[in-house]
Structure 1
Amino acid sequence: MNASAIGNDDLVDTLHRLRTDGYVVLEHQASESLIGQIEEELAPWFEATPRCEGDFHGWQTTRIASVLLKSPAAQQLLLDPFVLRLLDHVLAPYCDWYQVNLSQAIRLHPGQRQQFPHRDDDMWPCSKTNEYMVNVMWALSDFTRKNGATLLWPHRHLASSSVPDPREAIAAEMPRGSALIYLGSTVHCGGENQATTARTGLVLSYCLGWLKTYENAFLAYPPAIARSFPKSVRDLLGYRMHRPNLGNWEGQDPAIALTSSSRVHPTVDALPEDVAEQLRSYYEMNGR
């Protein structure tokens, strides 16, 4: 799907395909100038960062974390309006607000073997009746089957957790600047890079606001750094309280940590409206 063609009428169709297939590709969703700026900002980090160590993360793979700090331009991808509209439908009904689960730039070097097929939401070992996570893989280079484009198993998010048939996988081939959006329950993996050049992507992952995240946002972006970010980014990083009363700092919304050094504050309720009404009704009925 081309970004210029995406409008309000496309939201329902895109949501349907995402929920049915487990993924959807938005071609040329980011401008060439933005992708070029992100590449430039990440270049020294790719140069300095050692390759991964482990069968899951890949021995011929480079991964860069805390991307929103190392590439300020990547914040624009994080706040992509159409992506956020999708998240409002997939994640927002099940939490007070959704948050950044992970920001990671990934480069598959030539010779990197195919990754083990997996579901990302298996990191939370519990039964799930709704989606916990949505990932967006932004293509910083062209993704082809030969250079290790992400492999996905359509409809497998609706099936059991057995190892999928490799013949059923599809390669998410897409041009640079495109976005592959896939559910946390979608079976997928990095493909094998049989090319002579690297394949580079940037994953921005979002999850329900009451979950423990893959990347510790408060170490990746401590208050001294986060206070320089736009409020919309700070909110996604968790510098806000999730009702009821989750993630507070000194009894208040953690956003206060960005403006105050005092550790003396009153503890303030942060309750969903239905719970707050329950409490009010209780005290009215009991004459208190």
Structure 2
Amino acid sequence: MKHRRIGHAAGPHLDALKNQGFCLVENIIPAAMVEGLASDLGDSFAATPVSDGPFYGADTVRFGGLLNRSPFAALFIQHPLILEIVENILGPWCDNIQLNLTQAIEIRPGAEQQVPHRDQDMWPVSRMLPSDHEAEYLVNVMWPFTPYAPENGSTMLWPGSHRRRAEDLIDPDEAVSLEIDPGSALLFLGSTLHCGGANGTMAARRGMIVSYSLGWLKPYEIQSLVYPPEKARHFSPDLARLVGYQVHRPNLGNVEGRCPSELLGERQHSGAVDALGDEQIALIEAFRSQARS
């Protein structure tokens, strides 16, 4: 497990995440990039049917696979400051992070408030451990395409709820809903209670959520199916690793015993190649030392 160096710009945001469970990072993407991404996704917003079910909400539109839909998506997903913050939060619990989800979201006029929830609860282990366990499983990043405000369904968050993990519902009066302009990003922990707000305006609220999780978890969106090798080999090596073309020690996520990154290139090994953690190497060395004595 790794601890990353904390840069000057990331420090205050990390403090806010650890203290409140969320933070707002303002004006870090140029407006032209937001407009380019939103424009590229416009046809998908128009063509995608509304969601179904009590969690997603009947007056919302959601779709994923955003790296397939716009070249601008990678600029958001790989934003250096965002990755630095995320890696510092998740780094103590994994060797490497992975892309868990990219999802465009439209909350239409008249949409009701979503049920409050913690995104980490998609993994049952998060509820099996003691409520004071400090491990974080993911970090969400909300990128607005249109201005977010309490009136149009801006994300509602419960400050400090990441330290109250045993409480599924907390007094609504304790929630906050922020005004967020396009070009800024809202980050919140997977352990933070939150929900989409009600849209009481006459205009749709559009944006994108990108989430990153521990590299050894099964992601919400199966990235290797969304971005198969014939697609991922055109990504940069760093982006390919982020979407899952990497082994997580010990030997998790391999293909025929080899790192899945080999599916993207010409190099091939004749057999399986270990990718072991420090604990496994120490155990092997102890075993061999004992056998020699």
TM-score (norm 1): 0.93
- Is the 2:156–2:194 contact (alpha carbons within 8 Å) kept by the matching residues of 1? yes
Cα deviation 1:146-179 (Å, max 9, x = unaligned): 1110000101111132311111110021111110
Count of matched residue positions in the alignment of Structure 1 and Structure 2: 281
Q: Which residue of 2 aligns with 1:169?
A: 175
Q: Is the 8 A contact 1:252 1:265 kept in 2?
A: no
Equivalent residue of 1:204, what SS? Answer: strand
State whether residues 62 and 107 of structure 1, in contact with CA within 8 Å, keep that contact through their aligned partners in structure 2: yes
- Structure 1 residue 10 displacement after superposition: 3.8
Q: Does 1:150 align with 2:149?
A: no
Residue 66 of structure 1 deviates from its aligned partner by 0.5
List per-residue Cα deviations over 1:29-50 (Å, max 9, x = no partner).
2111110110111111111111
Matching residue of 1:3: none
Report the alpha carbon displacement of residue 274 of structure 1 after superposing the two structures with TM: 4.2
Q: Secondary structure at the match of 1:8?
A: coil
For residue 60 of structure 1, what is the aligned residue in structure 2?
59
Q: Distance in 2 between matches of 1:265 and 1:107?
A: 48
Contact (CA 8 Å) 2:144, 2:183: kept in 1 or not? yes
- Residue 47 (structure 1) aligns with: 46
Give CA-to-partner distance per residue, 1:122-144, whole Å, 9 cap, x none.
11112352101100001111001
1:250–1:265: 8 Å Cα contact kept in structure 2?
no
Pick which of 271-280 and 182-191 moved more. 271-280
Q: Report Cα offsets for 1:31-79 as digits up to 9, x if no partner.
A: 1111011011111111111111111111111111111111221111111
Deviation at 1:105, TM superposition (A): 0.5
Query: What percentage of aligned pairs have identical amino acids?
Result: 40
Query: What runs of 5+ residues in structure 2 fail to find an aligned partner?
Result: 1-5
SS at match of 1:104: strand
* 1:161-207 Cα deviation digits (max 9, x unpaired): 23111111100211111100000000000000011111111111000
Query: Which whole-Å CA distance do the structure 1 matches of 2:290 and 2:280 have between them?
Result: 15
Q: RMSD of the TM alignment (CA)?
A: 1.8
Give the letter aligned to residue 110 of structure 1: P
Residue in structure 2 matched with residue 212 of structure 1 by the alignment: 218
Q: How does 1:1-288 map to 2 (within 5 A)?
A: 8-126=7-125, 127-128=128-129, 129=133, 130-159=135-164, 160-259=166-265, 265-287=270-292
Kindly indicate whether the alpha-carbon contact (under 8 Å) linking 2:257 and 2:271 is maintained by their aligned counterparts in 1: yes
Deviates more, 1:119-128 or 1:273-282: 273-282
Other-structure match for 2:3: none
Shift of residue 282 of structure 1? 2.9
Q: Is the 8 A contact 2:9 2:81 kept in 1?
A: no
Are the counterparts in 2 of residues 96 and 243 from structure 1 also a CA contact under 8 Å?
yes
1:99 Cα offset (Å): 0.4
Q: Does the 8 Å CA contact 1:141/1:177 hold for their aligned counterparts?
A: no
